[in-house]
Amino acid sequence: QKEVEQNSGPLSVPEGAIASLNCTYSDRGSQSFFWYRQYSGKSPELIMSIYSNGDKEDGRFTAQLNKASQYVSLLIRDSQPSDSATYLCAGLIQGAQKLVFGQGTRLTINP
Amino acid sequence: KAGVTQTPRYLIKTRGQQVTLSCSPISGHRSVSWYQQTPGQGLQFLFEYFSETQRNKGNFPGRFSGRQFSNSRSEMNVSTLELGDSALYLCASTSVGAYEQYFGPGTRLTVT
């Protein structure tokens, strides 16, 4: 079992709708989670970090963490074509500055 | 504040050669981590340096090595290149006491 798993995708969402991206993790010791956005040919860009159970909102983005279920999600409200990218979920290994990434979910927002 | 910089951006090498990649972290950041990204394996952790010391290492062969200098700049070296080493090599920096890692633009290495 991979340490961090994401929906394989691809995911297609109409413009203006809510895009929902999901991620599960196996290491119960992981405390910190991150969502990165990666445009084709570019490097990952950090868009959200979450450390405690519940929701964290930043603009159109909401990250959700449920440690009991070992589940992390990212909601993108009012999706825009510029949100089309691959979204990477990452967990920080307890005690190490090491991120473990999921395989990524390719999101396409259709105008 | 300037972001993470990596040089060179693109590199073409031949099997058996060696290569050195450079990374300059965000000013004030002292932790530098290196990752390899390939279509098949995704993003994989190589190693992490803090205050010139390697603190963590991933599951890569000894051909992959790195170091960090007193100004926090880091280099990674790959010796005896193999075709499978073709990848995007990314470095990320982190501020002391923080967890967020910020990536540089990457070095695209092609081994022929």
Whether A42 and B105 lie within 8 Å, measured CB to CB: yes
Residue of A nearest to B39 (CA): A103
Residues of A in contact with B43 (CB under 8 A): 44, 88, 90, 99, 101
Whether A97 and B42 lie within 8 Å, measured CB to CB: no
Per the CB < 8 A criterion, the answer to whether A45 and A36 are in contact is yes
Residue A9 confidence (pLDDT): 80
Chains A, B: CB contacts under 8 A, how many? 55
Whether A45 and B103 lie within 8 Å, measured CB to CB: yes
Q: pLDDT grade, residue A29 (50/70/90)?
A: confident
Residue A77's SS3 state is: coil
Of A59-63, A91-95, B20-24, which range is least confident? A91-95
Residue of B nearest to A97 (CA): B48
Percentage of chain B with pLDDT > 70?
100
Residues of A in contact with B32 (CB under 8 A): none
The 10s digit of each residue's pLDDT in B51-98 is 999 999 999 999 999 999 999 999 999 999 999 999 999 999 999 888
Whether A34 and B35 lie within 8 Å, measured CB to CB: no
Residue of A nearest to B57 (CA): A98
Residue of B nearest to A86 (CA): B42
Per-residue pLDDT at A109 exceeds 80 = yes
> Please, what is the Cα angle at A74 between A97 and B108, to 5 degrees?
55
Per-residue pLDDT at A1 exceeds 70 = no
Q: How far apart are CA B72 and CA B49, in angstroms?
A: 9
* Residue A21: C-alpha distances to residues A103, B13, B23, B99 (Å): 12, 38, 31, 22
Cα within 13 Å of Cα(A32), Cβ side:
14
Q: Over range B3-13, report the average pLDDT.
A: 98
Q: Cβ-count burial of B46 within 10 angstroms (0-12 exposed, 13-18 middle, 19+ buried)?
A: buried
Per-residue pLDDT at B1 exceeds 80 = no
Q: Over range B42-59, report the average pLDDT.
A: 95
Q: How far apart are CA B35 and CA B74, in angstroms?
A: 13
